[in-house]
A and B are shown apart, each in its own frame.
Chain A
Amino acid sequence: MALKLRCHFGIGAAVEGEALVAADNFSARYDLDRVRGVFSRPQHKLSGRSYVDKILVMNTAKGGVASAWMLHEMASRAMAPKAILFNAANTILAQGAALANLAMCDRFDDGDVTALIRTGDRLLVEPELGLVTITNR
């Protein structure tokens, strides 16, 4: 039995992976040690956790235009998340996803995506369809 979550159509190709969830916000500049592939900002709810190849599920994006180039740079070293899901993306993260060919979706019909998805859930993200499937529930 799979749980299907509808969202706005997004960016990037379909991807499957494991969720890493926090009711927190996201900036590649402010929050990450991009060399080591971990959240480095001490106040971040995922501080110390690796984001590499995970599907990040966060509330929204924070300031920082740099995140657009940074997603591309991280993807070039295979040190990027597989996808990022937001309640509300900002323009920068969407632009960065487009350049990095990273899947990104936001605006979920059923409410707060950081509550709908749990860390460890297996997800299928289909941005072209505006659909995220939790395959383990």
Chain B
Amino acid sequence: MNTITKPDLGMTLSPAEEAMLAGEMGPARQWAIGHQLQVGRMFDAADMVEVSQAHMMADPESLGEAGVSFVERFAALPHEQARVRVPMITDPRGVDLNYYDPLGQTEAMANLERRFVAACEKLGIMMTDTCINYQTIMPPVLGDHVAYGDTGVVIYSNSVCGARSNFEGGPSALAAGLTGRTPRYGLHLDEHRRATRRFFVQSQPQGLTDWGVLGAVIGRKAGSYWDIPVIEGIERVPTSDEIKHMGAAMASYGSTPLFHIVGVTPECETLADVDGNRLTAETVAASDLEALRAPFGARGEKVDVVVFAAPQLSLVEMRQVAELCQGRTIHPETAMLVCTPPSVYADARRMGYNRAIEDFGGKVLQGTCFYQQYAREIGEANGWRRLLSNSTKIVNILGGYGYTPALASMEECIASAEKGEIV
């Protein structure tokens, strides 16, 4: 292929990429490739790599009027200039348009959401509204270059599927959808997928929350996007939901985009496969896990809202919550929200799980995730401060949103919702 090196950008471009940069494919693709070149240059990308999918995080709270208007400008272009070039899907929305007024979300928030959804649809984006697309839509495969947003999606896809993605924020995921490629830097390259930190786990996780806490401890110790943990000492293969919680928490606490578990994840049959044998092992002890949990314990305190989200619940988790709700009733001063993708919502409704949760007194939201749906405003509108969740990720996020978060297992969360205080 004929290629051109742009000396001022230090990146080699194909003729198609040159044409996009010159504006020959319209202003949307021109913006997109220009944005990608800026980012690629900062991270020393040599060229671009084609991607098979893009996934965009873009809730209206993050977008604001500025972000929605930005995307609407592209949506107003002729179809051939603005339609995404690869299958492109979306992360959870910020407003469940079937249920927002009771949460204290305003018509202005809902209208921003409606405008953004309409713009995305014009661009040919599929509104999957999920952060568990690797469980529900189309998991990437080993070696698959993708441009995914949502740190939980990226860490799972890189680690468990062996796909190759950087954390692509909303603008960059949109750019990847428009160009069909992304700058080849970071996790697209072998050298950034090798382990830089080695951890030996002494205490075996039991249940989703334990896996999340383990991920959080390792993420916090690893510390940066450019550090890749390899983990030894795990004695059984985790389920998809368990490793989902582990990865989501690790990415949340550490900005970690990839981890390896020896004998479990596909790029790490042995420690040597990821150069882990050259590293000194650091111990993850039971005391490390307890120290992480300590700020999130509040036994005996009144609980305002119990949240199951971050990541959205799989069908298996929906069944677990539904079964725990059977024959019980929520405390009148406690609320409970359960966030799941639209595709899982439909299945869970068909199987009776949504009804079981709502008969208990909880509410199942579709296509949203609690922390992405104006968490500060809905907390203030409902007087929620003490929040309880089984998600190690969400308790990390919500302190900055005015909540006092607490962490407990799924079983303890339901029992606490029933009693009105943390058990």
Write the nearest CB–CB distance from A90 to chain B, whole angstroms. 4
Decide yes or no whether A81 CB sits under 8 A from chain B.
no
Which of the segments B97-105, B169-177, B263-271, B336-344 contacts the partner chain?
B169-177
A9 touches B171 (CB 8 A): no
A99 touches B35 (CB 8 A): yes
Decide yes or no whether B200 CB sits under 8 A from chain A.
no
Chain A residues within an 8 Å CB radius of B396: 30
A69 touches B225 (CB 8 A): no
B168 touches A65 (CB 8 A): yes
Report B35-75 residues with CB < 8 Å from chain A CB.
Answer: 35, 38-39, 41-43, 57-59, 61-67, 70
B169 touches A95 (CB 8 A): yes
Pick the contact of A62: B42, B43, B255 (CB < 8 A).
Answer: B255
Report A13-61 residues with CB < 8 Å from chain B CB.
Answer: 25, 29-33, 40-44, 60-61
B39 touches A95 (CB 8 A): yes
Interface size class of B (residues with CB under 8 A): 35 or more
Decide yes or no whether A64 CB sits under 8 A from chain B.
yes
A90 touches B42 (CB 8 A): no
A65 touches B149 (CB 8 A): yes
Cα-based distance from A104 to B39 in the complex (angstroms): 11
Cα-based distance from A89 to B186 in the complex (angstroms): 12
Decide yes or no whether A11 CB sits under 8 A from chain B.
yes
Name the residue of chain A whose CB is nearest to the CB of B35. Answer: A98
Which of the segments A70-78, A108-116, A117-125 contacts the partner chain?
A70-78
* Residues of chain A at interface, number, CB under 8 A: 42
A65 touches B399 (CB 8 A): no
Decide yes or no whether B366 CB sits under 8 A from chain A.
no
A76 touches B66 (CB 8 A): yes
Q: A95-B168, A95-B171, A98-B171 are in contact. Are A66 and B62 (CB under 8 A)?
A: yes
B171 touches A73 (CB 8 A): no
Chain B residues within an 8 Å CB radius of A89: 42
Q: A8-B42, A60-B223, A91-B186 are in contact. Are A65 and B253 (CB under 8 A)?
A: no
Pick the contact of B224: A41, A88, A92 (CB < 8 A).
Answer: A88
Report B160-188 residues with CB < 8 Å from chain A CB.
Answer: 166-172, 186
Decide yes or no whether A83 CB sits under 8 A from chain B.
no
- Please list the 4 inter-chain residue pairs (A to B) with the smallest Cβ-Cβ separation, ordered nearest first: A68-B169, A76-B66, A73-B64, A41-B400
Extra A-B contacts (4), CB below 8 Å, given A62-B254, A89-B42, A90-B225 = A60-B255, A62-B252, A76-B66, A95-B168
Please, could you name 25 A-B residue pairs with CB atoms under 8 Å apart, sorted by A?
A: A10-B42, A29-B62, A29-B397, A29-B400, A30-B396, A30-B397, A30-B399, A40-B402, A42-B399, A60-B255, A62-B253, A63-B255, A63-B393, A65-B91, A69-B169, A72-B66, A72-B67, A73-B62, A73-B65, A76-B64, A91-B39, A91-B172, A95-B35, A95-B171, A95-B172
